[in-house]
Each structure stands twice: as structure tokens, then as C-alpha cells.
Structure 1
Amino acid sequence: MSQKFKIKYDEIQNIVVGEVPNYPKYATQILNLANQNAQGTRPKIVGQMSDLIQEFDGQTVEQWIEWYEERYPDARKNAADRVEDMIKKLKESIDKIDREMIDTWVKDLVLYKTFIGLRFQEAILRKVADIKGTTYRLAGKDDESKGIDGYVGFMPVSIKPTTYRSKSSLAEDIKVEIIYYEKKKDGITVYFDF
């Protein structure tokens, strides 16, 4: 009989280290955000931890701390300094947030970014048409049922994420040219071969 279970990270920490710090509500979320922005625990600051733990030949957390701090004596302080500086910047920014800014942010997220996220296909079609020196148009409902998202000139095309290529088990059989895209942090990278 097969069994399945889950061990929470706090429980692992309690078993392995013996202590679990108690933080106020939301504190770790704020600290994680500050660290993410400050990049305080990046390898260039604290070392490549996945490699270091493999080099470590001790057994206890006390041995690990001693071993690590001999090699990176200033790493924790440098990381904490970066996070502390970012916390100060976040506090300054939080003090500037008022209801008007919140309303603007909600409008931008719910209305504009949703619209843009759902309509980015038109931007892709327009850019591909510009490159090809032709026109474009979005597909109608009848075309969409055939897997067509739009036209570049008179050519029907489908627009799919790059991950679509790796999904060989898809039942969909698209018989038109496919434009692939990949969402990046700063925009969309588009690939096509026609």
C-alpha cells in the first residue's frame, strides 16, 4: 500500500535546526520583497549556496555556521545591509501611497493590463505584418474555431506560446502557420518562420 505525506518547511527546520523564528504577520513577505529587490542573498553576496552545501562535510547546523562564516565572514552583514536599505526605501514608498494611487493602480491592473494581456495578439499581428510589408487583421469567431487567430496579409496564422511546441500530445491539429511568442519580464519575444 503506497502512502503519501507532506512535511512543512517549519517542521523540517524544527527537526534539523531545532528553532523556528517567530515573525510578526506579513514581516516575512515584506522581508522577501525587500531581499528580492535588493538582491541581498545573491551568490555574489553570500556565495553559491547549492555548491557550498555540497562542499560542507560536517553534520550539524553549528558546524555548518562555523564552516560557512570562515569562508564568508562578511556575507550575512552585507546581505542584511542591502535588505535594511531596501526596507527603508519601501517604507518611504509606502508613506506616499494614498487612496488615489491605489485607485489608479487597481484601474491599471484590472482594466488596462487585463485588456493588454488579452489583446497582445493584435500587437503581434501588427508587428509581423509590418516586417512582412503587408496588412493584418484579427480572426472572426468562425476562424477562431479552426485555430486561426488572425491574418497576415491573406495568410491565416495561429499565435501560440513557445511552450506549445513541447506539448506533443495536444489534440489540436493546426493547419496554418504558427507565430510563437514568449512572455518576458519586459515584453514579448516573437518567433515565426514564414
Structure 2
Amino acid sequence: MAYYNERYNGKVKVQRSAKKTYEMVENMREAIDLITYDMVEQWVEDLILYKSYMGFDAREVILPKLGRELQMGSRLASPEEMSEGISGYLGDQPICLRSLKHDKGPAMYEDAGVPVVYYEETNSGGYRVEMKELSRTLDEFKSN
């Protein structure tokens, strides 16, 4: 510790970092005070209905269907990949499946930086898929 303090002005750097960290803690305290019961209820509903049963069901239906339609392999993302916002793969292309209903609410995860395929459930129990971002990416992928 003495070496770091002497060589790199460690005490000053620690104090600066502690100040920035404390400011962020204060910001979080203020943000937490803005959370309402309705916000929590909406988040839990989304988690239970759209991130679990319906979300996984959509992935299991839509990804293989897109793979067949586009004549390429498909696979569901691993739990680690899902934590990064990736729903699955078409060939080597990662994609994110996102419900149009979910997309109207607050973002619950970081943007994975991959094409997003939007879907909505139809009255007949199927899915309507909008894949403009994916089409553009696959065209670029095929031309390389």
C-alpha cells in the first residue's frame, strides 16, 4: 500500500474514487425513492408472464421456424448468452427476440448490440414476426 501511495499518488486516487462511488450511491438512493408499488407490480407481471413462460415459449417456436424459413441452423441461447440479451442464433448470427408488448415498457436488460426480431402473439395463438433488423444483417452477412 505504501508503494502505491508513493508511486501513484494512491491516497488522492482512492479519495477521488470514493467520492465518485459515494455520489453514485446517493443517486441510487434518490432513484429508489421514485419506485412505486405500481412499477414493481408491472415489473413482476412482465417477469412472470413475458420473461418466463411466454418468452421461453416464443423462443422455442420462433427460432426453429426462422431457421427453417431461412434454410440455416438455429439454436437457443445458453443461460450465459441470455444474460447478455441474446435469445438465440440463426447460423452464426446472434439475435434478440423481443415482444412488442414488452418493448412498450421500460427496458429490463441491456441492448445486446445484435439484431432484434420483434414478435407478438396473434389471436389464433401463433406469432407475427417483424424482422427488418435481421434481414439487413443477414444481407450484409451473406455479401461478405
TM-score by length of 1: 0.37
> Which protein has greater RCO, CA pairs closer than 8 Å, 6+ apart?
2
TM-score by length of 2: 0.48
Larger radius of gyration: 1
